[in-house]
Each structure stands twice: as C-alpha cells, then as structure tokens.
Amino acid sequence: MELVAIQINAGSDWEANRSRLASLLQQLPAQRPLLVLLPENSVVFGSKKAIQQAAEPLGEGPIQAQFSQWAKELGIWLVVGSTPTRIKGSERLHATSLVYNEQGELVGHYHKLHLFDVDVADNQGRYRESDSFAPGDDLCVIDSPFGRLGLSICYDLRFPELYRALRAKGADILLVPAAFTRVTGQAHWLPLLQARAIENQCYVLAAGLYGEQGERQTWGHSVIISPWGEVERCLPKGEGLIVAPIDTERLALIRRQMPVAQHARLSAVWRNE
C-alpha cells in the first residue's frame, strides 16, 4: 500500500488546473492500492468570483464528476484536498475535502473547520477566508484499505485538539491538504506536521500548492511523515508527486510500545467518558 501526495501550482482556471492534475495523475506508480491526496484549492485558486463560478452542490456537478471518473479509471483512492461547495440559502461556501474510493464512489467529505482570517508579512498581507467561506461543524474519519483516514485542511493544522479528536476516533493517517503561505510555511509547516504525527502516532500525508498565484506565494513542500515523526518523502519545489509505503505493523508497534492515547490524563478515553 502506497501513499501519494501531488503538488501543483493552481490558478483561477479550472480547465487549466484539470490539465495539470491529469498530467500528474498519469505519472502515478503502477502498484495498487494507492491513496492519492491533492492540495487544498487545486480546483480553483483565485478571486472570490472564480471561486463562486467553480462552486457546486455537494455530490453534484462536472468538477466532482471528473474526480470520480479519475478515481475509477485509475483504480485509486483519491482525496480532493478542497473544492468549493454550495450551502443552501447562503452566499458563502464550504471548503470541502472529498474522498473517492477506487470505484469512483464518494465515500466521505469534510468541511474545513478553521478559516484563515489572519495578517501575514507577505505580498498579499491580509487574508480573510470567511469573506467567501463558512466553517464546517463536524469531524470526519473514514474507513479505507490503508487504515482510518482523518481529514483536515490547511489552517486546521494549527489546532492540535482537532487531531487529538481524530485520533480518538481511530485515525491512522492524518490528511493535510494545504495552500500554506510562503512566510508561514517556511516558519511552521514542517514542525507542525511532525508534531501532529508524533503526538498522535499517525502517518501524516500532506499535499501543498506551490508557486506564485498573483500576490499569493505558496510554500509547497508536500511531505509524507511516519508515525515516529520521520520525513519519509518531501517535494520542496515545483510540480510533481511523492510516494511512500505505509507500514501498518510498524504503526501498531509504535502505539503498543508507547501507548500515549491511553496515558493521556486529560482525554475522554482515560476518563471513560
């Protein structure tokens, strides 16, 4: 079983982004099963208008149909890092991660919980994700041949309580699709990812956008991290993909030898709540 993170430089044109993604998906290794993660905003990355034009109701529309088709044709588990989905009765959208199995079936979704409303010392300076998006409310852990998948998106990474909750729900692999800024990525991306892997004893599969998109500068550095915190693969720059195997026996051994989930004295598990 192999984990794959794809890294692209996405823009505001879905057709151009689709062409990039199709080319990279053709470079996947031949072995199966594969769990393939795309970055956040790999569908569209640009103005509020471009995002609204690409938005679809959950489970409907030609963009989501394309991802379903790719998953089925390639025989892969495909996780769309995020795509804009409509909220009935609201002008704001959800940033939604979609999980397709090898039959092309949508087996789970996650609406981004934490919205990136911050000021950063870069070319753009001010980010207000809540201008276009509404936060989700629910955690998502999905059964798969690779283990249980815990879903998150980008800014979620700064909230360790989310990942602790995913671990409590049985997550084995933490998925982190992202469009981290260059400034924050250089400072915090890898340390945060390694911390989430170590403290939860999970694999971390993280796929990032890379490059410049207007005033936006994204960090890339897609990475696969072991449950011991080791960086197994990393793609610092450019478009491409990284691949690493998942070792379920080692995962189980790490948890057995150091059972931190059972030792946590503030957890609901310890308190039998």
Q: Of 2, 56, 102, 112, which one is the catalytic site residue?
A: 112
At 186, the pLDDT band (50, 70, 90 cuts) reads very high
Domain ranges of the chain: 2-247
Rounded Cα distance between 186 and 259, Å, is 32
Q: Which CATH architecture has domain 2-247?
A: 4-Layer Sandwich (3.60)
pLDDT category, 122, cuts 50, 70, 90? Answer: confident
Report in angstroms the alpha-carbon separations of 267 from 50, 168, 270, 272, 273.
42, 9, 5, 9, 9
Mean pLDDT of the chain: 95
Q: Please state which of the ranges 15-19, 27-31, 122-126, 168-172 shows the lowest mean pLDDT.
A: 122-126
- Among 2, 102, 140, 154, which one carries the catalytic annotation? 154
d(CA 204, CA 196) in angstroms, rounded, equals 8
> With 70 as the cut, is the pLDDT of residue 271 above it?
no
Whether 154 is a known active-site residue: answer yes
Average pLDDT (135-139) is 97
Residues in the chain: 273
Share of the chain above pLDDT 90, in %: 90
* Per-residue confidence (pLDDT) for residue 242, from 0 to 100: 98
Global pTM reads 0.96
- Quick one: average pLDDT of 36-61? 95
pLDDT at 13: 95
| Bridge partners for 36 per DSSP | 4, 78
Question: Residue 266 pLDDT more than 90?
Answer: no
Q: pLDDT grade, residue 46 (50/70/90)?
A: confident
**112 a catalytic residue:** yes
Could you say which of 2, 40, 232, 239 is catalytic?
Answer: 40
How far apart, in whole angstroms, are the C-alpha atoms of residue 96 and residue 41? 10
pLDDT attached to residue 213: 79
What is the pLDDT at residue 121? Answer: 78
Average pLDDT value for residue range 232-239: 97
pLDDT in tens, 190-217: 999 999 999 999 999 999 999 987 778 9
For residue 270, what pLDDT band results from cuts at 50, 70 and 90? low
